[in-house]
């Protein structure tokens, strides 16, 4: 009893903090560790756990698995770049051109991303399908001779991905742009810079943190995506995410799945570090250019 | 900077462990509950969807007063993964495909079946018994069967296809030119094992003993075929046909039979054929798990599901075919002759189940290479 | 001269308008056709609520809905509670790792989290079911609750808690009477967020829920795999309506920049 009282008096902060810490450790970091450790496990059908091995990694490093990871990398890059080029103008518009209806525009922007990803995918399926709206419109405008089924190909997959992740690129950029000190623009204009010049040398470099965040929030999930390629792509192309899911649920080869997952995670970490360095360098370069 | 107090540290460490233990306890609750409180008046069944209807289950529950809990799974490998985790504890009865029975048998997960306890066994056609995966049917009882074939749209191909061959699926490009048809796409099943079996029947006229060179040939064929494959899907057959997205689908007979039994228009518009090179046969079997605690109830359930009255309804509802000799004509009169059970005297390679002789890793890589680009 | 200056602005506006159209076209079509009377999915034949009624008659769907709601509620409660406790504790004990360990929740691909959880549960022979699913959702929830509550907490005037301590209140009492009420807006905001996330989550539910329970997302996924079905339209409309209400509430509490600004 005395110990309980003492815990409540002095150790209360620990009692409060431990559940959260334990949750993170136990449900996130330890599973990651398990993925890493088990990717070296040698497990055979009949006899169970046999020993440690690198064989799963040597399997993963064959060209075929590299191509699969490359597929995901290309998809994630395309998605991120498209989101960036479409999203930056929208963020700019929201930050600088809208005064009164800002809340409404933001609400409308965020709403689609809070819907179920399966619902989003299905919505596009419904739209792009052979008997769907787009096909009908094109058919009645005589642009195509037969209704076409626009799903089950890479176009539909990319479309679906951009659709899911666009708001995640726009928001971080908007937040950075919104917080920017407007006086910087006035100063630049005062110093004789044109609008275009201001955008290139003031707005853009200052928004790099937002771009970086947006890139992170789009690239990482789209790298691991498997629902969109499976449903909109007809399961015809193998991506990193789909192969891992297959390994776990379809082909009972968990160890290879672990190895593939570990490689993917390591790749993402390296990419994250590389991107951060890249942005850092870009910023330095722009600063130097500006000072000339 | 506070002095490092060992007593404090140990106390907090204990607190840490205690909180962790509490969380673990919450996670293990269902297991503990099951271990102590499992009712004996229930059975747990693991099976694919569309094999035993909810109605049958409810009838059984009403008749015997026992509860039946069904868990569905999407693929056989999912089933195997689940069973391996816990040795099958928590489940009593399985309903799964032929080749899985051999795998499960070798893992010692199955219980020997006492045939005397099931009255309907005598009526099961010999064609479905004593196969490689369970030589004396000690561990499994067949329940239903279906075969792969081509479901096609009569609109596109005409009422009768002249040359019944798998080339309609595997060689659609060249074929459509030769026969003056419009270019068309196809739909293939999603399980690479099934695809491999059909491809090797078409290309090599055999399915056993495939070596590396054979697999290479099959891989080339599948990669070439991919250009006109709309999708690899085993579930949306009726969708693809009704929506006229593709005019021909390689699928199990049960899909089309279900369509035709339940929609008279489907009989006119679509047909089902088994190509001349042969096809893949699939037999679903009951198997009892070693970990079962309620064997008598399981026998009663198997008996009930296999009875003629239930099979009649099941066949009509799902399009699967019964293994019971007496059930054949009841339903088959109303549909295409393709569904009449095949030449049953010989067990030929032309109509055979999946074997377990493919190296999974090679299959894996083959399937991956087909889908990489 | 004037045209040259206005033209880019007009183009800019049109571009943004097109983007919003792109974002909403599928949703509009989906919702409109959920009220379609005909059984043939794409041909409009009148307004009808039949698909909504059909939903009410699908027992599997109702069970999945109940499961999703239970999981979402419990996960929200757990993540808000645990997250808030942690943030409050940081007032007295703040090791360097306390907040950094939560960044990973948002950075990692969900598929990795889901697979990791599945592997760990399998390895430790923890049964997959409500408990495993709720733990996963709470984990995601924590990744959002902690930054949100923390930023609100750091805006609180520390002199209030110091004053209360000076007046002789134990940490417990300070917590209950001073800190908790001041933090409540952030509870509500992050609670809405986590609830919506949990309802919409697919990856964790797909891997970690086991076979005996099925959430709404997994149910819709298995329906979508079978092709086009107007009932999916109907349930999507309902989900969209619920999400909109939550997002509307969220927008008014201005938490979005707190989440995205924390990177």
Q: Where are the domains of chain A?
A: 59-291
Contact map slice: A 239-278 vs C, CB within 8 A: 241, 244-245, 248, 254, 257-258, 261, 264-265, 268, 272
Q: What is the pLDDT of residue C255?
A: 55
Q: Chain C contacts of B80, Cβ < 8 Å? A: none
Lowest mean pLDDT among A39-53, A119-133, C189-203: A39-53
Strands (E), chain B: 42-47, 67-72, 93-97, 140-153, 186-188, 229-232, 248-252, 270-273, 279-288, 321-322, 351-352
- Which among B330, B342, B215, B171 has a CA at the least distance from the CA of B261? B330
Lowest mean pLDDT among A76-80, B2-6, B314-318: B2-6
Q: What is the pLDDT of residue A75?
A: 93
B293–C contact, CB cutoff 8 A: no
β-partners of residue B46 are B71, B94
- Averaged pLDDT of chain B: 82
Q: What is the pLDDT of residue A165?
A: 92
Domain range annotation of chain C: 58-260
Q: Do B245 and A248 touch (CB under 8 A)?
A: no
Q: Do C98 and A21 touch (CB under 8 A)?
A: yes
**pLDDT tens per residue, range C226-247:** 777 788 888 888 888 888 887 7
**pLDDT tens per residue, range A240-280:** 988 888 887 766 678 888 888 888 888 888 888 887 788 77
Q: Assess whether pLDDT exceeds 90 at residue A79.
A: yes
Residue C207 CB neighbour total at 10 angstroms: 26
Residue A105 CB neighbour total at 10 angstroms: 17
Identify the CATH class of A59-291. mainly alpha
Q: What is the rounded CA–CA span in Å between residue C125 and residue B133?
A: 30
| Better-scored residue on pLDDT, B49 or A220 | A220
pLDDT band at A44 (very low <50, low <70, confident <90, very high): low
- Which among B90, B94, B122 has a CA at the least distance from the CA of B110? B94
β-partners of residue B229 are B186
DSSP state of B281: E
Q: What percent of chain B has pLDDT over 70?
A: 91
Q: Copy the structure tokens of residue A53.
A: 């091995």
Contact map slice: A 18-37 vs B, CB within 8 A: 18-19, 22-23, 26
**pLDDT tens per residue, range A101-153:** 887 888 888 888 878 888 888 888 888 888 888 888 888 887 777 777 888 88
Q: Copy the structure tokens of residue A130.
A: 């052979």
Q: What is the pLDDT of residue B19?
A: 87
Q: What is the rounded CA–CA span in Å between residue B9 and residue B11?
A: 5
For residue A169, the distance in angstroms to the closest alpha carbon of chain B comes to: 28
DSSP state of A89: H
β-partners of residue B352 are B280
**Region class of A207: left (phi > 0), else alpha (psi between -120 and 50), else beta:** alpha
Q: Do A27 and C26 touch (CB under 8 A)?
A: no
Q: Chain A contacts of B75, Cβ < 8 Å? A: 249-250
Quote ipTM for the complex: 0.82
In whole angstroms, how large is the CA radius of gyration of chain B? Answer: 25
Domains of chain B, with CATH numbers?
A: 42-145+282-339 (3.40.190.10), 146-280+353-371 (3.40.190.10)
B323 phi, psi to nearest 5 deg: -90, -5
Q: Assess whether pLDDT exceeds 90 at residue C77.
A: yes
**Region class of A238: left (phi > 0), else alpha (psi between -120 and 50), else beta:** beta
β-partners of residue B145 are B283, B321
β-partners of residue B47 are B72, B95
Q: Chain A contacts of B373, Cβ < 8 Å? A: 67, 237
Q: What is the pLDDT of residue A46?
A: 52
In whole angstroms, how large is the CA radius of gyration of chain C? Answer: 23
Q: Assess whether pLDDT exceeds 60 at residue B42.
A: yes
| Better-scored residue on pLDDT, C256 or A287 | A287
Lowest mean pLDDT among A184-198, B176-190, B333-347: B333-347
- C252's CB contacts (< 8 A; 6+ apart) are none
**pLDDT tens per residue, range C82-114:** 998 888 888 778 888 888 888 888 778 888 999
Lowest mean pLDDT among C28-42, C95-109, C160-174, C213-227: C160-174
pLDDT band at A290 (very low <50, low <70, confident <90, very high): low
Q: What is the pLDDT of residue C40?
A: 67
Q: Do C226 and B240 touch (CB under 8 A)?
A: no
Q: Tell me what the mean pLDDT of segment B130-138 comes to.
A: 85
Q: What is the pLDDT of residue A178?
A: 83
Identify the CATH class of C58-260. mainly alpha
Q: Chain A contacts of B232, Cβ < 8 Å? A: 234-236
Q: Assess whether pLDDT exceeds 60 at residue C115.
A: yes
Max avg pLDDT among A104-118, B65-79, B106-120, B219-233: B219-233
Q: Do C12 and A97 touch (CB under 8 A)?
A: yes
Q: Do B31 and C211 touch (CB under 8 A)?
A: no
B356–A contact, CB cutoff 8 A: no
With vertex at residue C64, the alpha carbon angle to CA C143 and CA C246, rounded to the nearest 5 degrees, is 45
Q: What is the rounded CA–CA span in Å between residue A52 and residue A39?
A: 9
For CA atoms B355, B358, B361, B364, the dihedral sign is negative
Q: Which chains touch A (3 or more CB pairs under 8 A)?
A: B, C
**pLDDT tens per residue, range B61-90:** 888 888 888 887 777 877 887 777 667 777
Instruction: Nearest by CB to C42, from A24, A86, A132: name it.
Output: A132
β-partners of residue B250 are B150
């Amino acid at each position: 009893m005395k110990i309980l009282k003492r815990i409540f008096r002095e150790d209360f902060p620990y009692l409060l903090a431990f559940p959260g810490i334990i949750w993170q450790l136990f449900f996130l970091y330890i599973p990651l560790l398990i993925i890493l450790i088990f990717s070296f496990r040698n497990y055979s059908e009949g006899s169970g756990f046999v020993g440690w091995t690198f064989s799963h990694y040597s399997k993963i490093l064959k060209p075929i698995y590299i191509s699969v990871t490359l597929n995901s990398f290309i998809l994630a890059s395309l998605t991120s770049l498209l989101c960036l080029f479409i999203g930056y103008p929208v963020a700019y518009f929201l930050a600088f051109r809208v005064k009164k209806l800002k809340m409404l525009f933001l609400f409308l922007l965020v709403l689609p991303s809070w819907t179920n990803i399966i619902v989003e995918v299905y919505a596009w399926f419904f739209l792009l399908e052979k008997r769907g709206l787009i096909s009908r419109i094109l058919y009645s405008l005589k642009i195509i001779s037969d209704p076409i089924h626009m799903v089950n190909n890479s176009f539909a997959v990319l479309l679906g991905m951009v659709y899911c992740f666009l708001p995640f690129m726009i928001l971080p950029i908007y937040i950075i742009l919104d917080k920017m000190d407007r006086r910087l623009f006035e100063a630049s204009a005062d110093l004789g810079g044109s609008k275009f010049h201001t955008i290139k040398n003031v707005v853009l470099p200052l928004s790099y943190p937002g771009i970086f965040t947006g890139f992170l929030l789009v690239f990482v999930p789209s790298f691991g995506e498997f629902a969109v390629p499976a449903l909109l792509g007809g399961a015809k192309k193998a991506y990193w995410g789909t192969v891992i899911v297959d390994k776990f649920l379809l082909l009972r080869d968990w160890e290879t799945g672990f190895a593939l997952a570990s490689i993917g995670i390591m790749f993402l970490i390296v990419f994250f570090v590389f991107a951060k360095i890249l942005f850092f360098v870009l910023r330095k370069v722009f600063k130097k250019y500006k000072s000339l | 900077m506070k002095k490092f107090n060992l007593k404090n540290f140990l106390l907090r460490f204990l607190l840490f462990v205690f909180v962790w233990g509490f969380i673990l306890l919450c996670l293990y609750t269902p297991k503990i509950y099951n271990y102590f409180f499992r009712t004996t008046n229930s059975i747990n069944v693991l099976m694919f969807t569309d094999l035993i209807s909810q109605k049958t289950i409810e009838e059984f529950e009403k008749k015997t007063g026992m509860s039946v809990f069904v868990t569905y799974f999407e693929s056989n490998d999912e089933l195997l993964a689940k069973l391996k985790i816990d040795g099958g504890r928590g489940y009593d009865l399985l309903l799964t495909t032929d080749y899985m029975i051999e795998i499960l048998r070798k893992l010692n997960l199955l219980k020997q079946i006492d045939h005397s306890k099931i009255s309907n066994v005598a009526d099961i056609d010999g064609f479905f018994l004593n196969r490689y995966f369970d030589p004396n049917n000690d561990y499994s009882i067949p329940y239903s069967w279906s075969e792969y074939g081509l479901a096609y749209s009569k609109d596109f191909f005409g009422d009768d296809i002249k040359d019944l061959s798998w080339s309609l699926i595997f060689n659609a490009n060249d074929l459509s030119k030769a026969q003056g048809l419009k270019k068309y796409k196809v739909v293939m099943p999603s399980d690479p094992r099934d695809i491999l079996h059909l491809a090797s029947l078409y290309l090599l006229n055999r399915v056993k003993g495939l070596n590396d060179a054979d697999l290479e040939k099959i891989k080339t064929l599948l990669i070439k075929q991919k250009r006109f494959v709309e999708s690899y899907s085993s579930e949306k057959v009726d969708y693809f046909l009704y929506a006229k997205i593709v005019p021909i689908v390689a699928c199990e007979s049960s899909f089309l039979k279900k369509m035709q039994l339940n929609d008279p228009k489907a009989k006119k518009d679509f047909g089902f054929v088994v190509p001349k090179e042969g096809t893949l046969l699939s037999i679903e079997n009951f198997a009892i798990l070693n970990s079962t605690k309620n064997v008598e109830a399981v026998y009663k359930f198997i008996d009930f599901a296999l009875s003629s009255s239930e099979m009649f309804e099941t066949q009509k509802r799902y399009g699967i075919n019964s293994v019971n000799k007496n059930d054949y004509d009841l339903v088959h009169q109303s549909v295409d002759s393709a569904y009449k059970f095949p030449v049953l005297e010989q067990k030929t390679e032309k109509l055979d189940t999946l074997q377990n002789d493919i190296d999974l890793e090679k299959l894996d890589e083959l399937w991956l290479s087909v889908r990489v680009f | 001269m004037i045209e040259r200056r206005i033209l880019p602005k007009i183009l800019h506006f049109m571009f943004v308008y097109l983007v919003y159209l792109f974002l909403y076209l599928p949703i509009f079509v989906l919702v409109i056709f959920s009220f379609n009377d005909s059984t043939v999915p794409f041909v409009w034949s009148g307004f009808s609520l039949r698909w909504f009624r059909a939903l009410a008659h699908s027992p599997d769907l109702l069970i999945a809905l109940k499961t999703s709601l239970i999981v979402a509620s419990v996960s929200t409660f757990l993540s808000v509670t645990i997250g808030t406790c942690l943030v409050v504790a940081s007032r007295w004990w703040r090791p360097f790792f306390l907040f950094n360990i939560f960044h990973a929740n948002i950075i990692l691909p969900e598929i990795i989290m889901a697979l990791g959880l599945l592997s760990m549960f399998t390895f430790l022979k923890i049964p997959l079911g409500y408990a495993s699913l709720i733990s996963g959702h709470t984990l995601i929830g924590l990744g959002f609750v902690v930054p949100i509550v923390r930023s609100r907490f750091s805006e609180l005037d520390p002199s209030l808690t110091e004053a209360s301590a000076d007046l002789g209140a134990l940490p417990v009492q300070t917590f209950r009477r001073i800190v908790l009420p001041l933090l409540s807006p952030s509870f509500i905001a992050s609670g809405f967020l986590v609830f919506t996330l949990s309802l919409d989550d697919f990856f964790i539910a797909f891997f970690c829920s086991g076979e005996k329970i099925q959430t709404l997302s997994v149910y819709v996924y298995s329906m979508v795999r079978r092709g086009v079905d107007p009932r999916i339209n109907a349930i999507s409309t309902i989900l969209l309506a619920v999400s909109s209400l939550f997002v509307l509430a969220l927008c008014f509490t201005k938490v979005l920049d707190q989440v995205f600004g924390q990177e």
